[in-house]
Structure 1
Amino acid sequence: MPQSCGPPDPSSDPSKRATAPSLRATELQCQGDEVQGHVNPFDKTEIDSSSEGKYSPQHEVRSEIFSSESKAQSSDRAMDLGLAEDHFSRPVGSFVESDIENLKQAIEECKRLILELPEHSEKQKDTVVKLIHLRLKLQELKDPEEDEPNLQVVLEHRFSKEKSKSVKQMCDKCSTIIWGLIQTWYTCSGCYYRCHSKCMNLITKPCVRSKVSHQSEYELNICPEVGLDKQDYRCGECRTPISLRGIPSEARQCDYTGQYYCSSCHWNDTAIIPARVIHNWEFEPRKVCRSSMRYLALMMSRPVLRLKDINPLLFNFVEELVEIRKLRQDILLMKPYFITCKEAMEDRLLLQLQDRQHFVENDDMYSLQDLIDTSSGRLSCSLTEIHTTFAKHIKLDCEKCQAKGFMCELCKEGDILFPFDSHTSVCHDCTAVFHRDCYYDNSTTCPRCVRMLERKHEESLNP
């Protein structure tokens, strides 16, 4: 650091204060030299060297908060007492208690001046910026950065150290801001739980992903409230005392679990509630606690809802669901063609449904994301496009798949039929395909089933 040409700041170490003669000698020695006035790197005010000699020794070079207009005010001198030292550079070695006290004093002066200064003025804005940096520095002194491992495991959380410094996050443990520039923080790769490194040993919430792995099911009752008395007037997660009056802590209800939580466990996040979707076909987001929000996010794409068992009447009122069910049934009928077709396997046609793998396994299991996309119309559009691509391959592009078509044995007329055609019907016993009108008008049994029974009878007579 360049040697200052004026007396040391009153807030510096008393042992380094200069005496009056030495101050005068320093003043004479510094006349004509360029003054280094930026003791505080965030203070852009420059001191005019031409007017430096006009000051008395006790008012020489100072690190002012604002411009030179207010340098005679006592409030500015009080601010200088806290800001004259370099509080913003990287700390070297250990800090003594006096450094923290000086920062606290400067912070209080900043807060007082912000209230005194005119609103929206440049001086007030500059003081707010200084207050932010002073608080950051104080936090750094209280919690100096140490070498932390890149990976840590706590209560099934798999924490990895974050490298991002500019993204503003909130700590899920202490509910305060994570200042990435000066604080080490971690994120769980399973449930995305975020916290300071200093908060990791205080975590009491297990990883939500483990709950998803062991208990993949939704609460299907709409907001099953039990009341604060059943919770002993304590948070449903951390057991902190809560009440609806906000004393000692505000009680916030989670619309998914129906329980009440404190403000540290419930941040008023919103999510779509599965029970409201299934029973009411309602998609309005409701307020949920942090753990419920993470659980619902991880469960969003899991096909765990069997609608025909939970609420079969829903298909009578939601036409889109009927359309989706028919498309899914057709895709299941197309699947055998692709499994036995070399060209289809090479083109990997079934991978078009890799985001909804359950669509090629069954037609009655739905995920919450499926229902959301059905309501918005996105699922119907995408599934219709995939259905058209699959049908085009079987009926037009591939000769081997065309050869696996059917002729209607009842009327023995018309084009080649496929089980996924809209005007056909399929025998439930032998999977033979007929025209729908022919199949329902025919009073006899299926011709193919008759042949198969005759063949079995002959085989039993002539073993």
Structure 2
Amino acid sequence: MQTVQSLKDGIWNLPNTVTSLLGSREDGGVAADDHNNNAATSPDDGEDGKNDDDEGDSVSDDNGAAVAAIEEQDIGAESMANSLMSVEEDILDRSHAIPFGLIREQWQLVLDWDASIPEMEDAIGKCKDLVLRCEDDSEEKKWLVRHLIELRYRLRELQDVDSDPDELPPETKVILGHHFVANRNNPKYKVHCDHCSGIIWNVVQASYICTDCSFAVHHKCIRNVIRICAHVITTERNLPIECICPEIGLAFQKYTCAECGCQLSCNTSTAVTCFGLELKAEKFNAVVPRLCDYSGLYYCTACHWNDTSIIPARVVNNWDFVPRKVGRASLQQIRLLYERPLINLEARNPRLFHFIAGLGVVKRLRTKLTQMKRYLAVCRLAEEHRLVRDTFGGGSRRHLMQSVDMYSVADLVGVENGTLPEFLRKAHDAFERHIRNCVICSGKAYFCEVCSNDEFLFPFDDAAIACTRCNSVSHRACYARSNRSCLKCARLRVREQQMRNEILDAANGN
């Protein structure tokens, strides 16, 4: 064990050893001259001089190998620096990554920042023609629509400057769907640039933030942004990814980052040498790929910060709320979709309602709230007291009483931790109290047509059932005794048949 440890120490101290060898090389040259002088005066010292020369030759061989290794490392570092410079030069081109089918039209669509108004108008006209010719839901059409919006915004800026040169330029900058505004706030926590991953020091550095997806960026990095706005992506897709981690593999990505395109290493994070020494990939300047559990793509460390988030696909398919690591772009998309009611849970996974008791409770309460909405929507007193608005807030939860099927990720999280059923019970109790005590709402109650009881009935009562055709309400027990047939619907059918007979008789002259 001591021998292995000494070998490890020797390998880690290799640079110091090389330096000492280079220093001993000069000393060896001086010592060789001294030995030659001594050999001329003292023949007995000849053999010692010969031995010293042999040792000097071996040392010089070792020094040559060490110098060659250092030169190879310098060449490798220089080539890596050149590759990084080439990647930085291509960032602007990647920011306007045009689809393959539009490469021939690139010179007419992608304009420089100093383009004139006529050039901008020609590009807009060409872009509009291509939009009409492209197929629906194609990548080319999506790219053209995004680019058309950006070109129109830039044209408007140029026209404003041309009409009034003294007018200040607009504060909003539109780049790849982002609407960047100057960030004048001083946050209490560190904010990192989403492009270069550096810290944004608001006191000494100008920065911008996207009003749609909260993308933060330095002023110097704003022209090099390569990530499309998450708000644009979620609007085009309109649904979260339904598959669990749809991984395609590094080979399909050509061992490059899915966002910035930098080269990724296929090596593991650590390796073991023949001496049992662990070597980390960072020591070889290798970019270790990081998997995004939401998109299934691999990213570099600049585009994937090991942020964790709940994955909507895992919640819908497996009722799994464990946070997983996602990339920065995926994190922004999940945050935008978090409170949007886009998931038809009963259509996607109906068996969850049999295994998760909270989902059944929420479904029953939402069904009653939709029935109460018929009373509250036309009640003048409920509008004056702002009953619905004060209960559901600004509107992020209005869908809970407008429909029964659609859920958001926030709703499913509330079902898991129990906050959503409690919230719906409080809303149900407040609305029921108003309907029963309100003069306007209570006047729209029903009587059971089977038993002719004087008890007031409402569609949301537990002991009542409403007809799906005529909305008449009766007791559940009475409805079962009448062979599940509605008496009001039967009367309406008889009346309709009588009217038809009268019309036919009048037509025949009877």
Question: TM-score, normalising length from structure 2?
Answer: 0.60
Q: Aligned residue for 2:359?
A: 321
- Answer yes or no: is 1:184 the counterpart of 2:225: no
- Answer yes or no: is 1:394 the counterpart of 2:435: yes
Which protein has the bigger helix share? 2
- Answer yes or no: is 1:203 the counterpart of 2:243: no
Which deviates the most, 285-294 or 231-240? 231-240
Structure 1 CA distance for aligned equivalents of residues 476 and 404 of structure 2? 22
Question: What pairs up with 1:8-407 in 2 under 5 angstroms?
Answer: 150-165=171-186, 167=188, 168-245=190-267, 246=281, 248-351=286-389, 352-353=391-392, 354-395=395-436, 397-407=437-447
Distance 1:386 1:162, change over 3 A: same
Amino acid at match of 1:283: F
The alignment partner of 1:170 has SS state of coil
Deviations 1:35-93 (A, max 9, x none): xxxxxxxxxxxxxxxxxxxxxxxxxxxxxxxxxxxxxxxxxxxxxxxxxxxxxxxxxxx
Q: Percent identity?
A: 38
The alignment partner of 1:462 has SS state of helix
Structure 2 CA distance for aligned equivalents of residues 299 and 447 of structure 1? 46
Deviation at 1:285, TM superposition (A): 0.7
Distance 1:407 1:148, change over 3 A: closer
Deviation at 1:414, TM superposition (A): 5.4
Q: Which runs of 5+ in 2 are unaligned?
A: 1-167, 268-280, 504-510
Structure 2 CA distance for aligned equivalents of residues 367 and 265 of structure 1? 27
Deviation at 1:151, TM superposition (A): 2.9
Amino acid at match of 2:491: R
Instruction: Please say if residues 244 and 294 of structure 2, whose CA atoms lie closer than 8 Å, have aligned partners that are also in contact.
Output: yes
Amino acid at match of 1:440: A
Distance 1:286 1:460, change over 3 A: same
The alignment partner of 2:360 has SS state of helix
Amino acid at match of 1:155: L
- Answer yes or no: is 1:452 the counterpart of 2:472: no
Distance 1:355 1:444, change over 3 A: closer
Instruction: Please say if residues 226 and 259 of structure 2, whose CA atoms lie closer than 8 Å, have aligned partners that are also in contact.
Output: no
Instruction: Please say if residues 149 and 161 of structure 1, whose CA atoms lie closer than 8 Å, have aligned partners that are also in contact.
Output: no
Deviation at 1:241, TM superposition (A): 0.8
What is the Cα-based RMSD across aligned positions, in Å? 1.8
Amino acid at match of 2:478: C
The alignment partner of 2:231 has SS state of helix
The alignment partner of 2:208 has SS state of strand
Q: Which runs of 5+ in 1 are unaligned?
A: 1-146
The alignment partner of 1:460 has SS state of helix
Instruction: Please say if residues 166 and 181 of structure 1, whose CA atoms lie closer than 8 Å, have aligned partners that are also in contact.
Output: no
Question: Which has the higher relative contact order, 1 or 2, with Cα contacts under 8 A spaced 6 or more apart?
Answer: 2
